[in-house]
Chain A
Amino acid sequence: METKKLTCIECPIGCEMEVGVEDGKVVFVKGNSCPRGKMYAENEVVCPKRVLTSSIRARSGEMVSVKTDQPIEKAKIFEIMEKINRTTCDLPVKVGDIVYEKIDGKANLIATTNVGV
């Protein structure tokens, strides 16, 4: 069995965790102080994911902050960033509006601010 050390990124506490992995499966998680931490650790050793945040330029020139509405695979972050950097939108835009559907096949890129409302 292999054990991996992780720092939880779910909240500002940043629990130092230990995860036991055998045959690609999580056997135990130690050091977490909540269920979010356990879930993070279990995903992190199998397929690390992150919510990606960035900003795009609207056609009229204003900057609009955006995020993926669910975590995307960490390994695909730069690939998705290229797509984000080619993305634009029309105003007005509101918090939660989709600016790119299924950017990684699953997660939508959504606005995180209101512009021109």
Chain B
Amino acid sequence: MKKKYDIVIIGGGPAGLAAAISAYDHGVQDVLILEREENLGGILNQCIHNGFGLTRFKESLTGPEYAWRFIDGVRERKIETLVSTTVLSVSRDKQVTAINERDGVFTIQAKAIVLAMGCRERSKGALNVAGTRPAGLYSAGTAQKYVNMKGYLPGQKVVILGSGDIGLIMARRMTLEGAKVLAVCEIMPFSSGLKRNIAQCLDDFNIPLYLNHTITKIEGKERVTGVVISKVDENKRPIVGTQRYIECDTVLFSVGLIPENELTKSAGVPLSLKTKGAIVYQNRETLIDGIFACGNVLQVHDLVDFVSEEAETAGVGAAEYVLYGNREKDVIDCKNGQNVSYVLPQKIDRNQKGIVKLYFRVTNTFKNCVIKLKSGEKVLTERKKRIAVPGEMESFLLTEELLAAVNGEIELSLEC
């Protein structure tokens, strides 16, 4: 097998596929995609519901349909792919060591690498719920895989902890397949899921959503027999006396996603504590030359449409690195100010031309506020915002003109 490639892409989900296509179309055709699952497409394969692609394709696609638009694109270009192949490590000099059944352990030297490993679900272990550990506890994504990809229904009477989108989608999915979803508990005063999913997944089927509630105990020896849910105070501590027992045989956890950055760390790529992904420039190059990152491994996105967009940026960045080598940078640091939990990219290279789309998330729900972009004490520009919520990623466009006026660093804040 070939041991040298211009670009190696780690992960064959939506980010990896889009990055490969854009790198190829930008003039670098010696590209390899490494995917650990049997099939390309990543998590989209199990997201059989519709609602994907409205921004990009102006139509409502299911996850697999969205994935196939890109898999077809990879196949048309005859881009090389290796599936059922797990990457074991990535080094800072761009060597990728992987393993599969056919080739054993092997190392590939790349000129540029695109990290597109996606994210994983936060596990119940990370939550520290009291009680026993019987069968019947699943992450929402695992349940989704069982129902949609394997054709098994994991349980009949279900309580869901967390109101993230996957949890909401699974509430509907399990209801359609004949299970009874008794409650969705959300510890926060608001759902982190999209509003349309509250409407079409819970309200459509009269599934109750309990805000400011959490599971305080799981009961059952061999199999879950029930849970105790409690109301929480403003510090998210359970309030004594509000406990309620719900009989159930299944508990799903939909409590957030964590970028899967073990390989990023193995290459010594510096990570941001806020996004839990790599620190990047606007072309999605990390602080190690020639290593790029995009999609959910970089920041957890709400919509796959934006994953594709970001991956295309990274693909172009990687192709340019291969074609033109490392170029000198003129760096502006981007900081998150008041009421903003993070901004991405964290660094802007002024030598790269074009408009920069600065992504950010806010820390709470804000109404009638103003987004302000400052450099030092100087307000560069501002924009009114009717409503901003933590569950929805926001963006702000920075023109070259605007960036020319910046000295050293910029700060994005939200003021009410």
Pairwise interchain contact B195-A14, C-beta atoms closer than 8 A: yes
Contact of B65 among A10, A50, A52, A112 (CB under 8 A): A112
| Known A63-B149, A65-B48, A114-B68: A12·B303 in contact at CB below 8 Å | yes
Q: Of the candidates B65, B195, B204, which one forms a contact with A113 in the assembled complex, judged by CB atoms under 8 Å apart?
A: B65
- Segment at the B interface, from A20-28, A53-61, A99-107: A53-61
A19 interface contact, C-beta 8 A: no
Interface check A9, CB cutoff 8 A: yes
Identify which of B48, B61, B204 contacts A55 (C-beta below 8 A).
B48
**B51 contacts across to A, CB distance below 8 A:** 11-12
Instruction: Give chain B residues whose Cβ lies under 8 Å from the Cβ of A6.
Output: 199
Chain B residues with a Cβ closer than 8 Å to the other chain, count: 31
Question: CB of B196 within 8 A of chain A?
Answer: yes
The interface bits of chain A over 77-96 (1 if a CB of B lies within 8 angstroms of the residue's CB, else 0) are 11001000100000000010
**How far does the Cβ of A13 sit from chain B's closest Cβ, in whole Å?**
8
Q: Are A53 and B199 in contact, CB atoms less than 8 angstroms apart?
A: no
B198 part of interface (Cβ distance < 8 Å):
yes
Residues from chain A with a CB closer than 8 A to the CB of B204 are 50, 74
A72 within 8 A of B: no
A63 and B176 alpha carbons, distance in the complex (Å): 17
Check B60 against A51 for contact (C-beta < 8 Å).
Answer: yes
Q: Which of A9, A66, A114 contacts B200 (CB 8 A)?
A: A9
Which residues does chain B contribute within 8 Å of A67, judged by CB atoms?
Answer: 48, 50, 62
- A50 CB to nearest B CB, Å: 7
Say yes or no: is A29 at the interface (Cβ < 8 Å to chain B).
no
Give the dominant DSSP class at A's interface: mixed
Q: Are A9 and B196 in contact (CB under 8 A)?
A: yes
Tell me whether A8 is interfacial, beta carbon within 8 Å.
yes
A112 to B196, CA, bound (A): 22
Cβ of B194 < 8 Å from any Cβ of A?
yes
Q: Are B196 and A113 neighbours in the complex by a CB distance under 8 Å?
A: no
Known contacts A12-B194, A55-B151: A7-B199 contact under CB 8 Å: yes
CA of A9 to CA of B149, assembled, Å: 25
Do B148 and A63 touch (CB < 8 A)?
Answer: yes
A63–B153 CA distance with the chains assembled, in angstroms: 13
Distance in angstroms from A101 CB to nearest chain B CB is 19
Nearest chain A CB to B207 CB, angstrom units: 14
Q: Which residue of A lies closest to B61 (CB)?
A: A112
**Would A54 and B196 count as touching, CB distance under 8 A?**
no
**Minimum distance in angstroms from B371 CB to a CB of chain A:** 17
**Chain A residues with CB under 8 A of B194:** 12, 14
**B62 and A53: CB pair below 8 A?**
yes
Contact, CB under 8 Å: B148 / A12: no
Tell me whether B199 and A51 are in contact (CB under 8 A): no
Q: Does B45 contact A (CB under 8 A)?
A: yes
Q: Is the CB of A14 within 8 A of B62?
A: no
**Selected contact of B48 from candidates A16, A53, A114, CB within 8 Å:** A53
A-B contact pairs, 24 of them (CB 8 A): A7-B195, A8-B196, A9-B196, A9-B200, A10-B60, A10-B196, A11-B51, A11-B54, A12-B194, A13-B195, A14-B196, A14-B199, A16-B195, A50-B200, A52-B176, A53-B49, A55-B48, A55-B151, A57-B151, A63-B148, A67-B50, A95-B65, A112-B65, A113-B45
Residues of B within 8 A of A (CB): 45, 48-51, 54, 60-65, 68, 147-151, 176-177, 194-196, 198-200, 203-204, 302-303, 392
Q: State the 4 A-B residue pairs at the shortest beta-carbon distance, nearest first.
A: A14-B195, A113-B64, A7-B199, A65-B48
* A-B contacts besides A53-B62, A55-B147, A74-B204, 15 pairs, CB < 8 Å: A6-B199, A7-B196, A7-B199, A13-B195, A14-B195, A51-B60, A53-B48, A53-B49, A55-B48, A63-B149, A65-B62, A65-B63, A78-B176, A81-B177, A85-B177
